[in-house]
Structure 1
Amino acid sequence: MNIGIVGAGGMAAYHVKGFQKAGAVVSAVADSNAERARLFAEHWGIQSIYPNLEAMLGQEPGLDAVSIVTPNKFHAPLTVQALEAGKHVYCEKPPARNAQEMLGMYEAAKRTGKHLMFGFNNRCRPESQAIYRYLENGDAGRINSAQATWIRRSGIPGFGGWFTDKELSGGGPVIDLLHMIDLALSFMGYPEPKAVLAVTFNDFMGNASFKGPWGIADGNGNTNVETACHAMVTFRDGRCLTIRNSWAEMNEREVVSVTFQGSKAGGKVERLFGIDGVDETSCDTVMLFTEEYGRQVNREILVEKDETMGRVANAVNFVQSITKGEKPMNTPAEALILMRITDAIYTSSETGECVRFA
Structure 2
Amino acid sequence: MTTTAEEPTTTSTPLRAGVIGLGWAGQQHMEAYSNLPGVELVAIAGMEDGPRATLGTKYGVTRLYRDWKDLVADGDLDVVSVAVPTFLHAPIAVGALEAGIHVLSEKPIARTAVEAQAMVDAAHSSGRVLEVAFNHRRRGDIEALKAAIDAGQIGRPYHGRATWLRREGIPALGSWFTNREMAGGGPLIDIGVHVLDYAMFLFGEPRVTAVSAVTHSELGSRGRGGASADKQDVGSAYEVEDLASLLLRLEGGGSLVLETSWAAYRPAGDEFGITLYGTEGGADLRVVDYAPAGELTIFTGDGESTADVHVAADPGRGHTAVVETFLEHVSDEPNWSRYDGSVALERARIIDAAYESAARGAEVRLDAEPGDAGTATTNSLTASKGA
In the alignment, the residues of structure 2 paired with residue 245 and residue 346 of structure 1 have an alpha-carbon distance, to the nearest angstrom, of 13
What pairs with 1:143-162 in structure 2 (closer than 5 Å)? 143-162=157-176
Task: Count the aligned residue pairs.
Answer: 349
- Report the equivalent of 1:332: 341
- Report the equivalent of 1:68: 82
120-129 or 291-300: bigger deviation: 291-300
Q: Which amino acid aligns with 2:311?
A: I
Length-normalised TM-score, structure 2: 0.83
Q: Partner of 1:46: helix, strand, or coil?
A: coil
1:201 equivalenced with 2:216 (yes/no): yes
CA, structure 1 residues 188+212, in 2 after alignment: closer, same or farther (shift >3 Å)? Answer: farther
1:188 equivalenced with 2:203 (yes/no): yes
In the alignment, the residues of structure 2 paired with residue 265 and residue 331 of structure 1 have an alpha-carbon distance, to the nearest angstrom, of 35
CA, structure 1 residues 216+128, in 2 after alignment: closer, same or farther (shift >3 Å)? Answer: farther
Q: Which amino acid aligns with 2:194?
A: H
Q: Which amino acid aligns with 2:131?
A: M
CA contact (8 A) 1:193 1:235 kept: yes
- Report the equivalent of 2:250: 235
Q: CA deviation at 1:101?
A: 0.9
In the alignment, the residues of structure 2 paired with residue 33 and residue 149 of structure 1 have an alpha-carbon distance, to the nearest angstrom, of 34
Q: Which amino acid aligns with 2:360?
A: T
130-139 or 7-16: bigger deviation: 130-139
- Report the equivalent of 1:314: 322
1:127 equivalenced with 2:141 (yes/no): yes
Equivalent residue for 1:345, pick from 341, 348, 354: 354
CA contact (8 A) 1:200 1:229 kept: yes
CA offset digits 1:255-314 (Å, max 9, x no partner): 1112211222222332112xxxx69xx9622222122696212211112235x7x12322
CA, structure 1 residues 336+227, in 2 after alignment: closer, same or farther (shift >3 Å)? Answer: same
CA offset digits 1:100-158 (Å, max 9, x no partner): 11111112222222211111001110111112222232333222111110010111110
Q: CA deviation at 1:231?
A: 1.1
- Report the equivalent of 2:381: none
CA, structure 1 residues 137+269, in 2 after alignment: closer, same or farther (shift >3 Å)? Answer: same
CA contact (8 A) 1:289 1:296 kept: yes
Q: Partner of 1:237: helix, strand, or coil?
A: coil
1:289 equivalenced with 2:299 (yes/no): yes
CA, structure 1 residues 292+43, in 2 after alignment: closer, same or farther (shift >3 Å)? Answer: farther
Q: Which amino acid aligns with 1:5?
A: V
What pairs with 1:74-113 in structure 2 (closer than 5 Å)? 74-113=88-127
CA offset digits 1:181-238 (Å, max 9, x no partner): 1100111122111111111000111545411699965552231000000110102321
**Unaligned segments of structure 2, at least 5 residues:** 1-14, 369-387
Q: Partner of 2:199: helix, strand, or coil?
A: helix
CA contact (8 A) 1:159 1:219 kept: no
1:49 equivalenced with 2:64 (yes/no): yes
Q: CA deviation at 1:85?
A: 1.0
Length-normalised TM-score, structure 1: 0.90
Q: CA deviation at 1:12?
A: 0.9
1:11 equivalenced with 2:21 (yes/no): no
CA contact (8 A) 1:22 1:319 kept: no
- Report the equivalent of 1:323: 331
1:164 equivalenced with 2:178 (yes/no): yes
CA, structure 1 residues 50+264, in 2 after alignment: closer, same or farther (shift >3 Å)? Answer: same
- Report the equivalent of 1:140: 154
Q: Which amino acid aligns with 2:160?
A: A
Q: Partner of 1:74: helix, strand, or coil?
A: helix
Q: Which amino acid aligns with 1:349?
A: A
What pairs with 1:217-232 in structure 2 (closer than 5 Å)? 217-232=232-247
Equivalent residue for 1:266, pick from 271, 277, 282: 282
In the alignment, the residues of structure 1 paired with residue 254 and residue 228 of structure 2 have an alpha-carbon distance, to the nearest angstrom, of 36
Q: CA RMSD in A?
A: 2.6
Identity of counterpart residues, as a percentage? 29
In the alignment, the residues of structure 1 paired with residue 230 and residue 209 of structure 2 have an alpha-carbon distance, to the nearest angstrom, of 34
